[in-house]
Structure 1
């Protein structure tokens, strides 16, 4: 009996591993191996067309004294510090407004969600037209109102704010997450609070936000990671050069330039691992402090 059971367990294990093997092989080939290879190359001088040569910590020493590295890091920090909160606040307010029981609300929800499923390259091309300083729609409207028309992507002072404005346009995905969370907030709590004389702002602060804190925390973490690895829109809208005057040379742009324009793959791998460590540390810090402001089930 035990031998038969042992045979059955072995067969089940073999079948389970067989079904899992595509995922295991895929992770090993397309995730684990590239990570380990990039870690090795970060300690090498690797100009792509020649074999890598071990140079130890040279890439990291160069990185510490690289002014462009710090510029790209500050640009990325600026974008993350403004784009992520702006996206969270906008998506949350939209979700609250679109959570009302009004006829035709599904149409409005669809209208605000559609921008989030537009391909990033197509959306970037659209915003290039909207932000064109000469004939763009936004500046045309501003001029018709006799207001100052900024240079947007052509001006170092407004280039990053323009990209942040574009990022807010695509918060439909976060809006849906918040809408789903708002459905789980008990209605009787609002009714009891209203009977006790609580106004809309008090109900928002003491009921809605505590119940929504797990959803807000999730989008905060994902928003930060997305901002730290921000690439596609900036590359399409600035031609991948990081201009004007390095104002949009984000960390991922600088990493890409070193890898595929300057053919410094070893240095690019070092940049990638620095970015990975920074994201990891910041994410761990968020999770470490989350108990102070994330309340599951509305507990406070």
Structure 2
């Protein structure tokens, strides 16, 4: 049975609307489905396993992208709704799910104002997705609100000091400043921050730091071009500097320097990057 979609009652400010539009454009750029498939194919199934999804469970994947967690959840027997702000990613997810013979519902939705009734789902999860929503407490409250009492809220979030956290920090000085009231995405990978956001409404809050190794490219230069071609946040930063050649060259050098330093592979023609993440599970009170 498909999840019932309700009209969103929260009124968005003009600033919020503009921020949503910017996020849609950011994640529509490049090829995030390829990034998920190339670099983190195991994270979605891992999150599904951590949620202990059983056949018939009502599952919501928030900021689902192209379904790297939602599709495995449906394959495990869940009745899954994949929600994301970006229509292009939902369209890609539909194609991937169809190729795999998996059925689930795809809904365009803002993680900060989910169009679902209270207590609608047995499992509410997100795989390196909701961490990019600007307003952290608002997002955390929505995750908990739509989960039933006794249900599971679970996330995988990049840590600030792991590879993706440091990549974002390297790009940050060259991009648009974080809007007032918004939080930096990698804060979701800090245990103290997650505890602050969630623990007043959940029990059995568990957090475990884990790691995925990204070894997709043969050289740091190749990996830099991969990010520039495929990953929305990187594309946005480069576009922001497109009319400043000196700044663009500086960004290129600094990005390559970062990737060179972080490459722990010792064999020629190989790269390996340790991307740490926080696996979070909790039970709604």
Superposition TM-score tier, normalisation by shorter sequence: under 0.3
- Higher relative CO (Cα under 8 Å, sequence separation at least 6) belongs to 1
Q: Which has the higher helix share?
A: 1
* TM superposition score normalised by structure 2: 0.25
With normalisation by structure 1, the TM-score equals 0.24
Larger-Rg structure: 1
Q: Identify, as 1 or 2, the structure richer in strand.
A: 2
